[in-house]
Structure 1
């Protein structure tokens, strides 16, 4: 083992402490302390950045690495008694395994703003416990907020600007570490800020095949199965598709009517086969870290690594996290075909560019094991897409792709963003009306979030739109107020549109695909068992399927929930949902059943 080559990577929680101990009503929760206390759910996602760094540095320097992912640890905790994350972090890192390791470098990495305060805490603890170590910070969030982070934490030696493989390698190889950090254009130091130097540059690996097979060994892989990001979406077949003829058919005949059961035994792991994105969507900040020019792993290398993952980890599914998987004319076809021939199911977590989803490619996806797609529609307003988001998407293409997905037997899950700077209530109304014409299976309506480094963030900062600190922003909490909309209105409308699109105007209900609709509604109840609207529509599906006793059960449960709170009143009244009428109508079914038994 060479001298000065021990690295401890730290991944802070993807949730703020306040949201963890006092979760807002619109986020998922987990139970601890013998089920007596509910905490904010912590999604785990294998941190590809640090295991890429670890593999690269081990290859070229023989470095020794360890990793602590606090997202995994928080999920594994059965009891929680800490009054802050700081004391918990310190307790974990004070254990003998890390003290005996004696790292020469402590690297803290984070993607999004909920981790901001934890970055500061972890750097202070690292300096306290490992006083001779270089304390370094990197990742998407620090790249965009290096100034704020350095100003708040004097103990940090440097922030890495952009991807870290080459800058970190050169640091390990440098004889005088501090001098190197001060002089390198991809490392940001306190002296840089004092001098007013902001001319930092990316130092990218152009050929991603240079990065070795990722170093999964430094992670507790079992811990990522507890609450993975990919579990939020199914990688299972939603439809047992009937074979289509070449004749024109009714839309409702374009997919099968049976629902394939989810398989909890499936193991999926994430990969990223490219870096960069050429598009200039105003709400996105990935270019700040990865640049706009596309860089790739070769298809041969991707398939080689997947075979290794199948052998080492027994995976049967893969979650593809590329920002722009559709880059290159033939590469996407070659990859999808190759992965399909490995019998691996595929899920594209960051969605696929809608313009590239022609029927030929959709049928290849389906034949290759892709049963679900996220469609990044973002808005149903042409004005918002073009002028505010600068997203190159035609709305007529959205309806065509959604229809073609049904024809191919692919379940569609659509991302919608609400509350962009400059967006009006009229824009939202336009979006609502258009999205009702899109026969997608589900819509996920999110709050437009000003991600540091995005043009949206800069617009909000320049116009003083932040009503709440952007550090508290997430996809379910609005933080900006414009002349058009308040944060409260945006949050209300995201949930309102969720009820409208996913329940009242649910495409599968309109197409009489009651089994598919029922599975979706049951998934809602698995997260929120007292969802009054969800209970009603489960009852409706059972009624349409001829299972009247089950229909009666859920209609009555819906009535009980809606009588206990006025939360659901606005939706019941605005959409004329006959919850109380149906419960009264089916009450006799329960009574007759009880009499028979």
Structure 2
């Protein structure tokens, strides 16, 4: 089969690239965090004899914002296209792009197109959740793109490099998609997930990379001085209909051996003098036995670090015993993700939780002195106004009973999710730059009163009013009933370089920094 790609006579020279962040000019959410995905892909390739160069437009361009002329109201954070291209070695044979978020696709496409002009003979590859969900669309929308890596990327990307090195046909590589010489779309069989997760090399954090984020006070969730990203698991065993994880990772769930995790943590303490761990896992805590063993090993080794779960967690394993133990180990921040306060909505979206149980866990975490955030969603396609009010009432109850933050976002139909497929099949989604950019603005720019919505009962303005009103009430309730938080917020935002107890404080601090830079 003619793929149009030139075989490589020797070991390909590899570059891995992450493009800029896209947001609205008024966004309150400009999360710039280390790219753990590329670090894992690089480590796996390096363990098999390759020597990737990593170019992170975000990490190397923190605090650099520029407007997008083609898309008024939107900005990029990170290096310019020209700066990214200048950092890719001229003799690079294979250039791999991280394309995790559909909201950034218009800018990623521009970057790949420019890369093709600058490196006409290189093989351009992309992977991540956006690519996994929309491989054919991405290939046809961006002719510069040669190959899509679908799903878990480390082994598939390595197999692709070996295929190119040996001059074999791309049909031999499972887990990829591409256009053949006649322009036909080819999607090879999915590859099996890596089952022995403890054999995956630790991330390849290149020299001086993490220090840039620490110096800028950038962090996922709350911040300390030297926050280290960490993964203790792969995949998620659940099938929530709004989530794209099942398509990206399947439902195979694997936890790492606690001893391997502890060894990685101790390595980072020695090498980087880290002060905090941030678990990036989608579902880090599901097994109580693993959680207890991990916590006991932290205590036994005398590892004195703060650590947090900023991505969202379930509550099955988080009872009084476990939470008390986590607090002893330095856990200072938990994000719970009940998603809804309406039982019927939870049933529809296949969120297999019991509200009384997760509520009890949230309140117990507060009793243990852990800062708690709770994430909720409104505006699901089949949701009624009554169910939205149930969720709002549930969120306000949590705020009144001590939850530090309760966030309500509007449903986003992410490509790859079951709800996205349902809406697309019904003809309610038209792929294109407008749709992708609206995904970016939906839950980062709270000033918008016309967000992208898919609920036939409640329109964009109504849902936006519910969200804004809840946000104001949530913080009003929190600060009135718990006035000590007022001083904490003032201290953390105005008087501390790095500390932030909540996402609100972290983002407010970041927004003030941007405002100061803009006026200097």
The normalised TM-score by structure 2 is 0.83
Alignment CA distance shift 1:426-1:9 (3 Å): same
CA–CA distance in structure 2, aligned partners of residues 90 and 231 of structure 1: 25
Q: Secondary structure at the match of 2:201?
A: coil
Describe the superposition over 1:306-353 as per-residue Cα deviations: whole angstroms up to 9, x where unpaired: 111111111021000111112444212122333353112111121221
Q: Count matched residues.
A: 469
Which of 34, 44, 55 does residue 68 from structure 1 map onto?
A: 55
Deviation at 1:448, TM superposition (A): 1.5
Contact 1:13 1:71 in 2 (8 A): yes
1:250 alignment partner in structure 2: none
Describe the superposition over 1:461-482 as per-residue Cα deviations: whole angstroms up to 9, x where unpaired: 2334448624421324631233
2:408 alignment partner in structure 1: 445
Deviation at 1:179, TM superposition (A): 4.5
Contact 1:160 1:186 in 2 (8 A): yes
1:352 alignment partner in structure 2: 313
Alignment of 1:308-347 (within 5 A): 308-340=267-299, 341-347=302-308
2:241 alignment partner in structure 1: 282
Alignment of 1:560-575 (within 5 A): none
5+ residue gaps in structure 2? 1-8, 71-75, 446-450, 496-503, 505-520
Alignment CA distance shift 1:383-1:418 (3 Å): same
Contact 2:236 2:251 in 1 (8 A): yes
Higher relative helix content:
1
Which of 353, 357, 376 does residue 416 from structure 1 map onto?
A: 376
Deviation at 1:295, TM superposition (A): 2.0
Comparing 390-399 with 136-145, greater Cα deviation is found at 390-399
CA–CA distance in structure 1, aligned partners of residues 164 and 405 of structure 2: 56
Describe the superposition over 1:181-214 as per-residue Cα deviations: whole angstroms up to 9, x where unpaired: 2342311001299546556413422111212232
2:461 alignment partner in structure 1: 488
1:206 alignment partner in structure 2: 195
Deviation at 1:369, TM superposition (A): 0.4
Contact 2:20 2:79 in 1 (8 A): no
Alignment CA distance shift 1:68-1:3 (3 Å): same
CA–CA distance in structure 1, aligned partners of residues 218 and 189 of structure 2: 32
Asked if 1:299 corresponds to 2:258, the answer is: yes
1:139 alignment partner in structure 2: 128
Q: Secondary structure at the match of 2:363?
A: helix
Alignment of 1:376-391 (within 5 A): 376-387=337-348, 389-391=349-351
Alignment CA distance shift 1:458-1:229 (3 Å): farther
CA–CA distance in structure 2, aligned partners of residues 86 and 4 of structure 1: 34
Alignment CA distance shift 1:327-1:412 (3 Å): closer
Which of 509, 513, 535 does residue 480 from structure 2 map onto?
A: 509
Deviation at 1:158, TM superposition (A): 0.5
Alignment CA distance shift 1:307-1:124 (3 Å): same
Alignment CA distance shift 1:229-1:288 (3 Å): farther
Contact 2:66 2:77 in 1 (8 A): no
CA–CA distance in structure 2, aligned partners of residues 382 and 316 of structure 1: 40
Comparing 390-399 with 137-146, greater Cα deviation is found at 390-399
1:375 alignment partner in structure 2: 336
Contact 1:414 1:443 in 2 (8 A): yes
Larger radius of gyration: 1
CA–CA distance in structure 1, aligned partners of residues 437 and 279 of structure 2: 28
Q: Secondary structure at the match of 2:62?
A: helix
Alignment CA distance shift 1:211-1:164 (3 Å): same
Deviation at 1:385, TM superposition (A): 1.2
Q: CA RMSD in A?
A: 2.9
CA–CA distance in structure 1, aligned partners of residues 381 and 167 of structure 2: 42
Alignment CA distance shift 1:125-1:470 (3 Å): closer
Deviation at 1:120, TM superposition (A): 0.9
Alignment CA distance shift 1:217-1:197 (3 Å): closer
5+ residue gaps in structure 1? 29-40, 235-263, 527-533, 535-597
The normalised TM-score by structure 1 is 0.72
